[in-house]
Amino acid sequence: MAVQMSKGPDPRYSEGTAIVIGGSGGIGRAVCECLARDGSNVVLTYRRNKGRADETVAAIQAMGRKAEAASVSVEKADELKVFVDDVAKRFGSIHSVVYAAGPEIHMCSIRDLTPVQWAAAVNADVNGCFNLVWATLPYLKAAVGAFVAVIAASVERVPSKDILSASPKAAIEMLIRGVAKEEGRNGIRANCVGPGWVDAGLGKAVLENEFTPEQVERIRKSIPLRQFGQPEDIAEAVVFMLSSKAKFITGQTIAVDGGGQL
Ligand SMILES: NC(=O)c1ccc[n+]([C@@H]2O[C@H](COP(=O)([O-])OP(=O)(O)OC[C@H]3O[C@@H](n4cnc5c(N)ncnc54)[C@H](OP(=O)(O)O)[C@@H]3O)[C@@H](O)[C@H]2O)c1
C-alpha cells in the first residue's frame, strides 16, 4: 500500500474552528499560532490579559485565518458552556480543543500548604479541565475531533516544591486517558503534552521570581539538553497530537522537557 504523504493545511481544519483555552498565555499563544499556520481558525480565551489575547488574534488574522478572543473562567462551568455553544453555532463545528490554562502557582512544600490553596489549585485546574471536557465533548463527537491538555512533565516524578502543579496535572492526565478510552469508539482522540521548564509564561515567572540566578543555572544544568524549552517546542507537540498525522494516537502523554524527567 502506498504511504499517504500529507502536504499543506491539515484537512481536519478545513471547516469550523479550534478552541484554545489559555490562548493569551506563554504556551497557549504559540499553540494558537501553530494551529493557524497549519490552516485552522482559532477561538482563544484569556481570563484577564485582554491585550495579549488581542495580539494573538492579530497574529492569527495576519496568517489569513479567522480568530476571536473571549474572557472565560474555566471554573464557571455554565458560562464556559454558553461560550462553547456560541462558538459551535457561529463557526459550524469545533474540530480541536486545547486546554492550555492553569492557575498562577508558587513553589511550596506540602507542609506549608493550606487547604484553601490546595482547593483553589484543584478547582482552577482539575475542575476547570473537566468543565471544558463536559462542554466540548458533544461537539468533538460531531466533528470527530481531538482534545489536547497541556499538563506538566513533572507528573512522572515528585517535583520539589511543585506539588500544586503536579497533582492537578496528574489528575487531568487520568481524566484525558479516560476520555480517550470511552470516546475512542466515536473517533475522538484525547492526549496530553507535558512541558518541562519553559522560558515563557508561568515557567519564566517562577524562574525569575522564585529562584536566584545561581539556582536557575543549576536547574538548567540538570536538564540533559542543558536548556529551557521555548513555547513553540510545546506548541509543535500539541499541534502534532491534534493533527491527522497523529490519527492513531490516543490516551498518551508526550513529555517535552529536554529529558528533564530522565
Ligand atoms: N511555562 C512552563 O514552564 C510550564 C511548565 C509545565 C507546565 N506548564 C503548564 O502549562 C499551562 C500553560 O502554561 P503557561 O506558561 O502558558 O502559563 P501562563 O502564561 O500563565 O498562561 C496561563 C493561561 O491560562 C489563563 N488562565 C489562568 N487561569 C484561568 C482560569 N481560571 N480560567 C481560564 N483561563 C485561565 C491565562 O489567562 P490570562 O493571560 O488572562 O491570565 C492564560 O491565558 C499551565 O497549565 C502550566 O501549569 C507550564
180-211 residue pLDDT tens: 999 999 999 999 999 999 999 999 999 999 99
| Domains of the chain by residue range | 12-197+232-253
Q: Which residues are within 8 A (CB) of 186 and not within 5 positions of it... i.e. 6 or more apart?
A: 141, 144
Cα–ligand 1 centroid distance for 103 (angstroms) = 6
pLDDT tens for 225-253 read: 999 999 999 999 999 999 999 999 999 99
Mean pLDDT of the chain: 95
Beta bridge partners of 42: 18, 67
Is pLDDT at 130 greater than 60 in this prediction? Answer: yes
CA dist., res. 80 & res. 73, Å (int): 7
The CATH code for residues 12-197+232-253 is 3.40.50.720
Q: Cα(22) to centroid of ligand 1, in Å?
A: 6
258 lines ligand 1 (CB under 6 A): no
Answer yes or no: are the C-beta atoms of 96 and 12 closer than 8 Å. Answer: yes
Which residue's alpha carbon is nearest to atom 7 within ligand 1? 152
Please give the number of the atom of ligand 1 that sits closest to the Cα of 48: 40
| DSSP per-residue codes, 28-92 | HHHHHHHHHHTT--EEEEESS-HHHHHHHHHHHHHTT--EEEEE--TT-HHHHHHHHHHHHHHHS
- Between CA 260 and CA 187 the distance in angstroms is 33
pLDDT at position 16 is 98
pTM of the model: 0.97
Name the closest-CA residue to atom 28, ligand 1: 103
Å from CA of 202 to ligand 1 middle: 6
Nearest atom (ligand 1) to Cα of 73: 32
